[in-house]
Amino acid sequence: MKKLLFLLPLIFIFNSLTAQLSFEPKEMKTSIKKIKTIENINGRITINSDTTEIELNIGGLNYKEKIGRLKLFNDFGDCKVYCYEQEDGTLVLQIVNNKLFCVTFHSKNQKLEFK
């Protein structure tokens, strides 16, 4: 019984850790009404599937947002693309070799991409 009580929290912690994807983007591309800018940045983006939130930590900015409803999923083998519908637009996640590679926010005339 003691072994079971010890094993149960370990299973919970392991599942919680695998439910998070994060990466440190090196550049941010913005496109507003066909005007594109590229900035070099240091930050961290974390996707938490347990709470269905995305957290952006870039410079002094700390921002959390709900991911939204899954709209489209494509599996290309090593590359997976998730497309989520949000209030203002669309969130696109690209995962390559089980690591988060690119996060893109789309709205009507704006695009924000982290790589």
For the chain, give every domain's residue range: 2-114
13 pLDDT higher than 60:
no
2-114 belongs to which homologous superfamily?
Lipoprotein localisation LolA/LolB/LppX (2.50.20.10)
Question: Quick check: 38 pLDDT over 90?
Answer: yes
Q: In whole angstroms, give the CA distance from residue 57 to residue 31.
A: 20
State the maximum Cα–Cα separation within the chain, in Å, rounded to a whole number.
Answer: 63
Read off the pLDDT of residues 50-102 as tens digits, 9 standing for 90 and up. Answer: 668 888 888 888 988 888 888 988 988 889 998 999 888 899 989 888 888 89
Amino acid identity of 114? F
Distance CA 46, CA 2 (A): 35
What's the chain's average pLDDT? 81
Task: Report the alpha-carbon distance of residue 64 to residue 51 in Å, rounded.
Answer: 11
Identify whether the C-beta of residue 23 lies closer than 8 Å to the C-beta of residue 29: no
Q: How far apart (Å, rounded) are the C-alpha atoms in residues 83 and 108?
A: 16
Q: Indicate the pTM of the whole model.
A: 0.76
